Amino acid sequence: MKFLLAASTALLSTAATTAFAPATSKVSFSKNARNTPIGKSTPLFMSDDDDWAAPKSAMIGGAGVNNAGEPPFEIRGFSLGNLVIGAGIGITVLSFADYLSTAGGDGLSMSGVGFVYGIPIFLAGSALKYAEIEPVPCISTPASESVFESKATEIIKKIKQDVTRHRYGDEAHLDTTVKKLGLVIPGKDYPQLIELREDVTDDGELAFTMVWQSLDTPYKMWADEKRRKRYETFFGPDVGAEVVKINAEQRMVGIRLTTGGPLSEEYLASKAEKEAAVASA
């Protein structure tokens, strides 16, 4: 019992101290930094320079602890918060069992060491769990999965990769994205990404829909034509964008990205006519 308790305490305490340590990185400044043009933006990472790419060391931790850059590794399929909580509880229980088994005996007891490490590890796991955002589901079919593999753009692939894993410390999935697009009302909650949907259009293109629950941001803001055109450049290139009303009662709205280039004026006019007919019916 003592050997098991000592080994698990040493292993988990080392992991706990290194898991939250910021990755070391070397920051350098270019002489041309002052000449960098202002006003441009990249589709996903919201940089001021279209050619900007964050170093891999920009991420603090692996499970989506920070939005800047790409993580050096990913944690998928389980919750890091649950893992750390379980480790803390396990060490504490082993310490308590060791205390009961050696009560009144002579010699060094490991129960005190277990309590010293077990409780802080449990608290660290609780903090992670509090800041945790669950991965969103992706609704697809075998046909749409095949089209996704062949026609999804790099931006669409990065979005799916980013939101289908646990994240920590963010307001919501794609929080910086909706803020950059002007879809967050000051003082109000962020729209919450609910799910992804993958479909195949009639002409064989990929339709990738991001569905949000927008309790505070009205549908008119999402569907504004200037903002719709911005979606095509923001999530582009080579995609068309349209806003879809998913569920009015639950205030669910979707941004539907279609591969193959921006939407044609004829398609948008036909869609507007259909929406007007439904509204007047």
Residue 275 pLDDT: 72
Q: For residues 26-41, b (16+ Cβ closer than 10 Å) or e, as one string?
A: eeeeeeeeeeeeeeeb
Please provide the size of the chain in residues: 281
Residue 112 pLDDT: 67
Residues of the chain scoring pLDDT < 50: 1-72, 107
Residue 61 pLDDT: 33
Q: For residues 260 and 203, give the distance between their C-alpha atoms in angstroms, rounded to a whole number.
A: 10
Q: For residues 70 and 45, give the distance between their C-alpha atoms in angstroms, rounded to a whole number.
A: 10
Residue 180 pLDDT: 92
Residue 254 pLDDT: 95
**Spatial contact of 213 and 252, defined as CB atoms under 8 Å apart:** yes
Q: For residues 101 and 146, give the distance between their C-alpha atoms in angstroms, rounded to a whole number.
A: 59
Per-residue pLDDT of 214-259, as tens digits, reads 999 999 999 999 999 999 999 988 999 999 999 999 999 999 999 9
Residue 31 pLDDT: 39
Residue 106 pLDDT: 53
